[in-house]
Amino acid sequence: MARNSFLSGVYAAAVTPLNPDLSPDLDGLGNLLHFLSGRGCHGALVMGTTGEGPSFSIKERMVIYEHAVKVRQSFPEFHLLAGTGTPSLGDTVFLTKSAFDLGFDAVVVLPPYYYRKATEDGLFNWFSQVIQQAVPSDGALLGYHIPPVSGVNLSLDLLWRLKEAFPNQFTGIKDSSADPHWARLLGERFGQNLVVLNGNDKLLSLSLQSHGSGCITAMANVLSPIHRLVWDQFNSGNLNEADQEKLSHAREVLDRHQPMPPLLKVLLSQLHGFPTWKVKPPLLDIDSAQVEIIISEFLAAVE
């Protein structure tokens, strides 16, 4: 049952710390993962959208994967998920297999987003190849449903086919559609037989009420104690809507000041004392004139 899956819980879609020369700040990554492990997160996704994964080379991703696993040795109960999806089947297979070989608990795989009009049969074949070539029999793959960014929809029928064909390895999805109707449909179609980790903070409670298993969100970098409160309260049958409202209001602030990676890096620096990490092109650092406005709006949202 998905609700009881070892992947259930609150995950941060971790930012990727970068040095001024845009190389990975591995010490910063270690500090961030330690920070998240102490603030209610069950785990973290590295090299996802918030982690700017598609902006990194295969070599850079491998360095980051390797260091994350090394850091996790200090808190082994903390789950690590790797973003491994690329438009290339071969690169995706390589990264996925490498992540499992290193000891990641699961992978989160974008669809091949270059060919946005690929058919359902084509997507089924692509994911099947990834699973057959790279996912061990006890491995867990989550499809990454983020059509506003990828331009590729993972239909309910496609998810059903993948679950039927690979009942153990195709574990579920990260749902970043930001669509409440879709969140309900997932629950109606799959019940608790598919792990659904929602990617939009405003929909955490709704997703849980629709048999979702938790969340993987950018905002958990800075607000994971509130995400954990909502998750714990729901599972104890005492959900406090005021906590969900804080998440919703805070998410509305961040949505006004997109994109997420530079926003989260500024918030981590200003609110939690981390360095002001750079972002990879084509993203730009937050204009210094906007920082005070963003911090003020964000703090007001979570009061």
Q: Phi, psi (5° rounding) for residue 214? A: 150, -145
Token pair belonging to 42? 């069950």
Q: At what angle do helices 120-134 and 156-165 cross, to 10 degrees?
A: 30
C-beta separation of 161 from 140 below 8 A: no
Q: Is the dihedral of CA 178, 180, 186, 191 positive or negative?
A: positive
Q: Of 154, 190, 157, which Cα lies nearest the Cα of 175?
A: 154
H helices then E strands: how many in the chain? 12, 8
Rg (CA), the chain: 18
Q: Judge if the upstream peptide bond of residue 136 is cis by omega within 30 degrees of 0.
A: no
C-beta separation of 8 from 231 below 8 A: no
Q: What is the rounded CA–CA span in Å between residue 94 and residue 90?
A: 6
Beta-carbon contacts of residue 105 (< 8 Å; ≥ 6 apart): 6, 7, 43, 79, 80, 81, 140
Q: Of 86, 268, 106, which Cα lies nearest the Cα of 197?
A: 106
C-alpha separations of 241 from 39, 80, 137, 208, 236 in Å: 20, 29, 40, 13, 14
Element (H, E) at 142: strand 141-145
Catalytic residues: 49, 114, 144, 174
